[in-house]
Amino acid sequence: MKVKFEDFFLLDEELTEEYKILRDSVRKFVNEEVIPIIGEYWERGEFPKHLIEKIAKLGLIGSYMPVEYGGGGFDKLAYGIITRELERGDSGIRSFVSVQTSLVMYPILKFGSEQQKKKYLPKLASGELIGCFGLTEPDAGSDPSSMKTRAYKKGNYWVLRGSKMWITNANLSDIAIIWAKDDDGIIRGFIVERDMGYKSREIKGKISLRASDTGEIILDDVEVPEENRLPFAEGLKPALMCLNQARFGIAWGAVGISQFCLERAINYSKERIMFSNPIASFQITQQKLTDMLTLTQNANLIAYRIAKLELENKLTHYHVSYAKRYNVRAAKIVCDMARSILGANGITLDYHVMRHMANLEAVETYEGTYEIHTLILGEFLTGIEAFRK
C-alpha cells in the first residue's frame, strides 16, 4: 500500500463515501473559487461577498443544523471537514462560515424559541440573512463575564446599551446575537435585528484576517422586543457553549492550513535548484519537512478524535481547548517553516503561505487565546482556576 503524506495515517479511509464527496466538493470550490482570488481581496482588505451565495448553495452554512430549519442535517465530522477544507483557502472564509453556523445559528437552535428558529434559521442557512456574535467588548476580551453592555427591562422591551468590539461579520450583518447583563447582573442573549437600531463600524488597519469583515457594534439604547430574547440562555455558560462549537471548527480549520503549507513546501523544495541541487535534497530542508509532517498529522489525528468523541457524546470543552490550542500553534510553526523553505517567494501573496501565517495571528487570539486555553487545561489538571488573582 502506498501511504501519502497528505493522509499519512489513512484517516480518510474511515470516511464513508458521503463524507468523501463533501470533502472533494469543498476542496474543488476552494481550489477554483477561493485560492485564485483571495490574495487580491486580502490585499484590498475586503471580504469576497460574491462567494456567500455559492457557499450557501453548497450547503456549507448550518451544515449540522436540522434539515427542518434549512440546515444540512450533517454531523460535526462533516462540519470539521468543511472548516478544514475552507481554511485551506483562507481563515476569513472559514470564519464567515464558523460565525454564521456556530455563533449565530447554534445559539438560536439551542437557546431559542420555536418561533425564533422558524423565523431566522432557514434564512441564515440560505445566506439571505447574515449574522454576527457580540460577546467581546473593548474592555472585556478574555474575561467576558466583566462585560459592561447592559439590558434594561422596559415593559415588553429590553433596552440594550453598550458596545461590542472585534466582531466578525459586524458590517455585513442583518442580525446580531448580543450578550448583555440585566439589572441583576445575569448575562442574557438577544437576537437584535439591524432595523432595531444597532450600528457597526469597520475596524481598519488589520494585518491579519484582512479578507474578513471585522467591526465594532454600537448599541445606543436599542429597543429589543422580549420575543427576541433567547429564552433558554441565562448566565455566561450558554455563550461559552457556542464558543465550543466554533473552537471545534477552528481546530479542524488549522489542519487545512498545515496541509496546504506542507504540500506547497514539498513541491517548491523539489523544484527549487540552489547550489546545483533541489533544496529538497538538503538535510536541513528534509528535517523541516519531517517536523511539518509530524505537526500536521498530529493535528489531523486530534481533529478526527474530537469529531469521534462528539459523535459518541463524550466530547468535553477541555478536549476542544486542547485541540484549538495545539492545532493552531502547530499550524503557525508549519507556516513558519514553509515560509523559510520558500525563501523570498514565501513572503508574497502569490504563494499564500505568508497570508496564512498572518491570519493565524488572529486565529490564535480569537475564540480563547493560547494562554486562556493553557489555563483552561491547567484548571483541568489541578482543579485550581488561575484566571483571576
Asked if residues 158 and 223 have their Cβ atoms less than 8 Å apart, the reply is: yes
Query: Taking the complex as a whole, how short is the minimal distance between the CB of residue 83 and ligand FAD, in angstroms?
Result: 15
Say if residues 249 and 74 touch (Cβ distance below 8 Å). Answer: no
Residue of 361, 367, 379, 385 marked catalytic: 367
Site size for ligand TGC (CB under 6 A): 24
Q: Judged by CB, which is closer to ligand FAD: 45, or 141?
A: 141
The answer to whether 267 and 285 are in contact (CB under 8 A) is: no
32 is catalytic: no
Distance CA 295, CA 186 (A): 42
Q: Which stretch binds ligand TGC (CB under 6 A): 92-100, 178-186, 274-282, 299-307?
A: 92-100
Q: Does 142 bind ligand FAD (CB under 6 A)?
A: yes
Distance between CA atoms of residues 181 and 163, nearest Å: 12
Q: Which stretch binds ligand TGC (CB under 6 A): 10-18, 226-234, 289-297, 360-368?
A: 360-368
Q: Identify which of residues 136 and 269 has a Cβ nearer to ligand TGC in the complex.
A: 136
CA dihedral for 29, 30, 35, 40, sign (positive or negative): positive
Does residue 269 belong to the site contacting ligand TGC (CB under 6 A)?
A: no
Among 64, 157, 166, 322, binds ligand FAD (CB under 6 A): 166
Separation of alpha carbons 79 and 86, rounded Å: 11
The correct pick among 38, 250, 262, 372 for binding ligand FAD (CB under 6 A) is 372
CB-nearer residue toward ligand TGC: 264 or 324: 324
Which grid coordinates are listed for 104?
Answer: 449565530
Range list of H helices, 75-127: 76-89, 91-98, 106-111, 114-125
Contact between 72 and ligand TGC by CB under 6 A: the answer reads no
Q: DSSP string spanning 171-214? A: TT-SEEEEEEE-TTS-EEEEEEEGGGT-EEEEPP--SSSTTS-E
Whole-Å CA distances, 241 to 114, 171, 233: 20, 25, 10
Q: Which of 45, 73, 122, 144 binds ligand TGC (CB under 6 A)?
A: 144
Q: Is 368 in the site for ligand TGC (CB under 6 A)?
A: yes
188 vs 202: CA distance, rounded Å: 25
Site string for ligand TGC, 157-186 (x = CB under 6 A): -----------x------------------
Residue of the chain from 105, 246, 255, 262 that contacts ligand TGC (CB under 6 A): 246
Q: Is 362 in the site for ligand FAD (CB under 6 A)?
A: yes
User: Per rule CB under 6 A, is residue 208 in the interface with ligand TGC?
Assistant: no
Query: Using CA atoms, how far apart are residues 205 and 45, in angstroms rounded to an integer?
Result: 9
Tell how far CA 135 is from the center of its chain: 15
Query: In this chain, which of 31, 115, 142, 267 binds ligand TGC, going by CB under 6 A?
Result: 142
Cα separation of 387 and 160, whole Å? 28
| Binding partner selected for residue 299 from ligand TGC, ligand FAD, none, CB under the kind-specific 5 to 8 Å limit | none
Name the site residues for ligand TGC (rule: CB under 6 A): 95, 98-99, 133, 135-136, 142, 144-145, 168, 236-237, 240-241, 243-244, 246, 317, 366-368, 372, 376, 387
- Known catalytic residues are 367
